[in-house]
Structure 1
Amino acid sequence: MEHLVFTLVTFVLFTALVGIISGKIVKNSDDQKTAKGYFLAGNGLGGFFIAGSMLLTNLSAENLVGLSGQSYAANMSGMAWEATAVIATIIMAFVFLPMYLRKGYTTLPEFMEERYGVGVRRMVSILFLIGYLVIGIPVCLYAGAIAFEQIFDFATVFGISEGMALTILIVLVGIIGALYAVLGGMRAVAVSDTINGILLVLGSVLVVVFGFIAVGKLSGGGFIVGVKDVITYEPAKLNAIGGKNDPVPFACIFTGMLLANLFYWGTNQVLIQRALGAKNLKEGQKGVLLSGFLKMMVPLLLVIPGVIAARLVPGLTSKDFAYPSLVARSLPWPVVGLFCAALFGSIISTYNSFLNAASTVFMIDIYKPIFNPNLSEEATVKLAKKIGWGFAAFAIIFTPFLDVLSTGLYDFGRSFTGFYNIPIITMVLVGMFSKKGSKLGAICATIFHIAFYACYKFIFPHIDTPFTNAVSGINYMYIYAISFVIMLVIIFVCSKIAPNTKVFDKSASRNDGYDMTAWKHKNAFAIWLVSFLVYEYFIFSPAGIATENKNVVRIAIVTAIFVIETIVLIVKEMNKRKKTA
C-alpha cells in the first residue's frame, strides 16, 4: 500500500509540475480572446512545439495499449501504422501544408467550401464531429482507463468490479482532461504536449530497458541476456512483414493504410490544427517532418514492449493488458509515478486535442456561419469553451458503453474511423489535383462509402451468401482501397451529370504578410526519412533479425550503407548552409 501511495503522490506532483511549467512558458503569449489565438495559437508555434504536440497527440494511450497488444498476440506488423506514417508526413509537408497556410485556413472544412461549396463543408464538419465524439474521444478515454487500472489495480484495492473501476477512471480522466482542453488555448496545449512528450519518451525507454532486464533475470542475467532472449526465443514475433492473418498484412501498407495515414496526418483537424498554427511555412514543414522522424522511433518504444511482455507475462486475458502489465511487472516502483504522469499527459493530450478540434469545427464551420455570423472574436472563444464542456460530458457518458476489448482497442479505433476518413481524404485529393470533383459527386460518393462500410461492418457478417462472405473476409484496409476506387468512379460520373462550377485557385494567397519561405533542408531530410523507413523494415524482417538464422554480415553491410548515406546528406546540407550564410 505504501508503494501505491508513493506512486500516486509522485504522479500528482509531476502532473502538476508540467502544468506549472507550461503556464510560465505561455504566461504572456497565450491569446485566448481571439479565434486565431485560441484555436491556432496566434500563428506563433515553432517547429519543435509542432512536432512535440503532433507526436503526443498521436502517441496516445490507444497506441500504447493497442500496438503493444498487437505484437503481444501476433507480431510486429502493427508497427506499420507508426513507421509508414512518415510517407504521409512528407506529403503533408510538401503538398498539403503549403496550400493550407497560403490560404490561411483555420479548419479543413473551409477548404471544402472553397472547393466544393457550403453544403460539402457542412457535411464534412458533421463527419468530423461524429467521428471525434463517438470514436476518437471514447477510445482515448477507454484506453487510458485500461492502462491505469492494470497498473494500479484499483478494482482489487477498493474491492469493486473491474468494470466499475474502468467507469470511475473514465469519468475522472474525462473531467480532468476537459479542464486542460477547455481552459487552455492551443499554445498552452502545444507547450504542455511537448513537455509531456519528452517525459513519455523517457518513460517508454525505461519500460523497454527494465522490461529486457526483467526477462534477463528469468535466466539469471540482466539487460544483455534479456535482449538476446527476446530476439532468439520467438524470432517470428519480430517480423514486421505481415502475412494475410496478421494485424497488418504487408500489402495493406500500399493500399488502405496509405489512405488512412494521409487522412490522419494531412487532413484530420486534430493533427493539422498544430501545423496550421505555425509561425511560418518553414517552421510548419520542420515540425511536420520532425514528427515523421519521431513516428519511426515509436515501434521501438511501443511495439517492442508487446514482444517483451509475451515473454514476461504470457497468458493475459486480453492482449490490451500487455503494456500496462509490463509496466507494473518491470518498472521499479519509485519510477512508476513518473511514468504514469507521462502516460496521463499523453491521454490528456489526445483527449484535449479531440475536444479542441471538435469545438473549433463546430464554432468555425457550423455555429458561427449558420446561426451568428456577426459573433465577436471574444464571444466565439467563450462559447467554444462552453461547447467543449458539453462535448466532454457527452463523451464521458458514452464511453463506458463501448465494447472494445473483444476486438482489440487499436483495431476498434482504426476500423471504425473508416466511416469518415476515406470520404474526406478522397474529397481532398480530388479537390486538389482534379477539376472533375463537384458538389454532387462529393455528396454521392460519401453516401455510398458510409452505406457500403456499414454493410461491411454490420450487415454482411450476418448474411450467408458467397458474395457477403467474401466481402466480410476482406481486411478493412483493403475495403478502404476498394471504396476509394469506387468513390473516384462515382465522382467522375457525377461530374458528367452535374459538372463542377466552382473555381478553385490554388495559387491565391492570404494578404496578412505571412512568411511562405520553405525550409531549405526539407528535401534532404525527406530522402533520409524514406531511407530510414526502408532500413527499419529490413531490420524487423526475416532478412534482418526476425529469423533463427540471422545473417550478421548482411545486417552489418546494410547498416553501413545507411550510415554512409546519412553522413553524406549531413555534409551536403552543412555545405549548403555555409554557402547561404
Structure 2
Amino acid sequence: MTLQASFGAWDWAVIAAYLVTVLLIGAWAARGAGTSGEDLFLAGRSLGVVTVGLSLFASNISSTTLIGVAGAAYGSGISVAHYELMAALVLVFMAVVTIPVFLRARVTTIPQYLERRFGPRHGPTVCRYISALTIFLSIFVDTAGSVYAGVLVLQVLVPGVPFLPACIALAAFAGLYTAAGGLRAVVYTDVLQALVLLAGAGVIGYQVFAQFNFSWAAASASVPADHLSLVRPLDDPDLPWLGVVLGLPVLGFYYWGANQYIMQRVLGARSLQHARGGALLAAGLKLLPLFLMAIPAAFAFSLLPDLPQGDQVFPAQIARFLPAGLAGLVVAGLIAAIMSTIDSTLNASSTLVMVDFVRAEERGWSPRRIVRAGRLATAAFVVIAALWPLAIRDFPGLFNYIQQVFSYAVPPVVAVLLLGMLWRRMDGRAALVALLVGHAGGALILVWRVVALRQGMDDGLPHFTIVAGLTAMLCAAVAWATTMASGPRDSEADHSARALDAGLLWHRADAATPSRGWRDYRWQSLGLVLAVAVTVWVFR
C-alpha cells in the first residue's frame, strides 16, 4: 500500500494550507528584514521564551529525528534516543554556563566570540577556521541531509517522483522565505512547524500503539528484548554505553552550544532570562522524541518487517496505519520538520559568510547592501544543498551519515570553546594547534575506516562515539600542554586579563538569578536532569 493510495482531498488540502501559511509568514517577516544586518541575522534580538524554545526544538527535529532517529530505532532499537536525552542535559548546561557569556559578549556568531576571546593575533584565524567548518557541516550535512529526508517522503507520497528535481524544489522553497525574511521568518515558521510536527508524531504514535490494543506487554513482546533498552553493552555496534558517556556529551555540546544555526536563536533572544527560558523549554521538549518517535518506530519493526531501508519507516507508518484525513496532518508535520532545519542552516550559513568572512559592517556597507549580499549567499547555498543529496543517498542510513561526519569534525571545536570560556590562560596559539591536531587525526581515522570498509576488513577502532570522546580529550590535552610548555607571553597574559574584564570568561556569578521558587531556572534545570535520569533508569 502506498501513501498516495491512502490520500484523500482533505489530506492534500492540509498540506497545501501548511505550505501557503509558511509563505505568508515569510512574507510578513520580510517586511522587517531589510532594515539592518541584525534584523536579518538575529531578528533584531527580539525573540521571547516560547519562540526561542519552539524554534530550537523544531530546527533540530528535522533530519535527525522524524526520519533518522525513527529509522535507527526501527533497525536497532531505542538506544538512539540517547541523542535526544543528552540534548536536554546539554541545554541545561548551556543555560548555566555558556548562554550568559555569549549574550554578554553581544556577538552575532559563535566564531566571532572566539575571535574576541583569543585576541588580534590568533583570534581572526581561529574565527575563520571554525566558521568555515561550521558552514561545511551546516550545508553538506544538516541542510543536504534534510533535503534528502524530504525527498524520501515525497517518493513514498508520490511514487515515481524524480530524485534530483525534487531536491531542487525542496531546497528552493525553503530558500525563498529564508532569504526574504531572515531569522525572523525562520523562527516564526519554526513555531508553527514545532506545533504541527508534535501533533503529527503524536497521532502516528497513537495509531501504532493501537495496533497492539494499547497493551504495552503485547507491544514489547513483539520486538526483540534489546529493542526497548537504552543501555547497551560495550561491544554494541550501534551505541555502546561508553559512547553515551564519552562521546554524546561532545557531539551534543557542539550541536547545541557551538553550532551557529542552533545558537542563532539564543543570540537573538531579547534578554538572558528569555534565552535561558527558551533553552530549558527546548530541553523539556527533547524528552518527547523517545515516546513519540523512537518507541513507535521500534514497535513498527514487527508491524512492517520488510522495509528495504530503516529511513522509510516513518512515511511507511503513515501509509499503513493512518486513515484519510489524518495522513495529511502527519505529512504536513513531516514536511514542517524538514523545512525547519533547511531554513535554519541556510540563514546561519549566510550569517557566517557576512559576519566572519565578508565583515560587511566593518567595511562600512549600508544595511541594504548587507541584506542583499546575505540573500545572495543564501541562494548560493540553496544550489549546493539541492545537489549534495546525490551523494548522501549512497550512504547507509541518514542518521549514521550525520553522526559519523560530526564525530570526526567537532571534538576539537568543543575542546577549544570550553577551554577558552572556562580557562583564563587558554590562548589562540594553543587553540590553533588543538584544532589542527584534532582534525588531522579525525581525517586519518576516516580514511582508515573507508579503506577497511572497502576491503572488507575490521578497522579495529572503537565505536565512533567513543572516538569522538577520546579525540576531544586529546585535543584538550594538546591545548593544555601547548599553553603550559610555552608559558604566558606578556601580550597574551594582558589579553587574558582583558578577556576576563570584558566578560568573555565564565564565572560563578553568571549562574545567579533574581528569580525565586519555581521561576528559578536552577530548580527547573534540576527537574529536567532528574527526568532524564528516571527515563534512562526505566528503560535501562
**TM-score between the two structures when normalised by the length of structure 1:** 0.83
The answer as to whether partners of 1:318 and 1:405 remain within 8 angstroms in 2 is: no
- Quote how far apart the aligned CAs of 1:534 are: 1.1
The answer as to whether partners of 1:309 and 1:323 remain within 8 angstroms in 2 is: no
- 2:200 aligned with 1:203: yes
- Quote how far apart the aligned CAs of 1:61 are: 3.3
Separation in 2 of the partners of 1:5 and 1:326? 17
In the other structure, the counterpart of 1:525 is: 524
In the other structure, the counterpart of 1:474 is: 462
In the other structure, the counterpart of 1:49 is: 51
In the other structure, the counterpart of 2:99 is: 97
In the other structure, the counterpart of 2:334 is: 343
- 2:178 aligned with 1:148: no
C-alpha change, 1:21 and 1:482, in structure 2 (3 Å) is: closer
Separation in 1 of the partners of 2:309 and 2:5? 28
- Quote how far apart the aligned CAs of 1:32 are: 2.9
Q: Helix, strand or coil for the counterpart of 1:60?
A: helix
In the other structure, the counterpart of 1:78 is: 80
The answer as to whether partners of 2:69 and 2:293 remain within 8 angstroms in 1 is: yes
Q: Which moved more, 1:488-497 or 1:257-266?
A: 488-497
RMSD over aligned Cα atoms: 2.4
- Quote how far apart the aligned CAs of 1:472 are: 4.1
Separation in 1 of the partners of 2:422 and 2:30? 42
Q: Helix, strand or coil for the counterpart of 2:345?
A: helix
**Could you tell me which amino acid in structure 1 is paired with residue 486 of structure 2?**
I
Separation in 1 of the partners of 2:480 and 2:190? 42
The answer as to whether partners of 1:280 and 1:517 remain within 8 angstroms in 2 is: no
Structure 1's unaligned 5+ residue stretches are 159-164, 217-221, 511-515, 542-581
**Could you tell me which amino acid in structure 1 is paired with residue 159 of structure 2?**
F
Separation in 2 of the partners of 1:81 and 1:45? 26
- 2:284 aligned with 1:284: no
Pick the aligned partner of 1:239 from 213, 226, 229: 229
**Could you tell me which amino acid in structure 1 is paired with residue 189 of structure 2?**
S
- 2:169 aligned with 1:172: yes
- Quote how far apart the aligned CAs of 1:404 are: 4.7
Q: Which has the larger radius of gyration?
A: 1
The answer as to whether partners of 2:168 and 2:383 remain within 8 angstroms in 1 is: no
In the other structure, the counterpart of 2:441 is: 452
- 2:513 aligned with 1:508: no
In the other structure, the counterpart of 1:483 is: 471
Separation in 1 of the partners of 2:406 and 2:270? 31
Q: Helix, strand or coil for the counterpart of 2:108?
A: coil
Pick the aligned partner of 2:90 from 85, 88, 91: 88
- Quote how far apart the aligned CAs of 1:443 are: 1.6
C-alpha change, 1:143 and 1:506, in structure 2 (3 Å) is: farther
- 2:299 aligned with 1:308: yes
- Quote how far apart the aligned CAs of 1:138 are: 1.2
The answer as to whether partners of 1:44 and 1:278 remain within 8 angstroms in 2 is: yes
- Percent identical residues: 23
The answer as to whether partners of 1:148 and 1:324 remain within 8 angstroms in 2 is: no
Aligned ranges 1:176-195 → 2 under 5 Å:
176-195=173-192
**Could you tell me which amino acid in structure 1 is paired with residue 186 of structure 2?**
V
Aligned ranges 1:287-366 → 2 under 5 Å:
287-366=278-357
* Residue deviations 1:73-122 (CA, integer Å, cap 9, x gap): 11211000001211110111111000111110110011111122111111
The answer as to whether partners of 2:424 and 2:500 remain within 8 angstroms in 1 is: no
- Quote how far apart the aligned CAs of 1:23 are: 5.5
Q: Helix, strand or coil for the counterpart of 1:278?
A: coil
Pick the aligned partner of 2:369 from 379, 382, 388: 379
* Residue deviations 1:520-539 (CA, integer Å, cap 9, x gap): 42011011001100111122
Separation in 2 of the partners of 1:176 and 1:488? 42
In the other structure, the counterpart of 1:409 is: 398
C-alpha change, 1:441 and 1:83, in structure 2 (3 Å) is: same
Q: Which moved more, 1:241-250 or 1:284-293?
A: 241-250
**TM-score between the two structures when normalised by the length of structure 2:** 0.89
- Quote how far apart the aligned CAs of 1:4 are: 4.0
* Residue deviations 1:37-94 (CA, integer Å, cap 9, x gap): 1111111100000000000000103321111111111121100000121111011111
Aligned ranges 1:122-133 → 2 under 5 Å:
122-133=128-139
Q: Helix, strand or coil for the counterpart of 2:410?
A: helix
* Residue deviations 1:448-485 (CA, integer Å, cap 9, x gap): 22221122122255369xxxx88643111111121112
C-alpha change, 1:402 and 1:233, in structure 2 (3 Å) is: closer
Separation in 2 of the partners of 1:472 and 1:458? 13
Aligned ranges 1:534-573 → 2 under 5 Å:
534-541=533-540
* Residue deviations 1:217-260 (CA, integer Å, cap 9, x gap): xxxxx4x24x4421232343111112222422122222111111
C-alpha change, 1:411 and 1:449, in structure 2 (3 Å) is: same
In the other structure, the counterpart of 2:20 is: 16
The answer as to whether partners of 1:60 and 1:347 remain within 8 angstroms in 2 is: yes
C-alpha change, 1:424 and 1:505, in structure 2 (3 Å) is: same
Q: Helix, strand or coil for the counterpart of 2:239?
A: coil
C-alpha change, 1:441 and 1:508, in structure 2 (3 Å) is: closer
Q: Helix, strand or coil for the counterpart of 1:242?
A: coil
Q: Which moved more, 1:306-315 or 1:41-50?
A: 306-315
Separation in 2 of the partners of 1:497 and 1:2? 69
**Could you tell me which amino acid in structure 1 is paired with residue 85 of structure 2?**
A
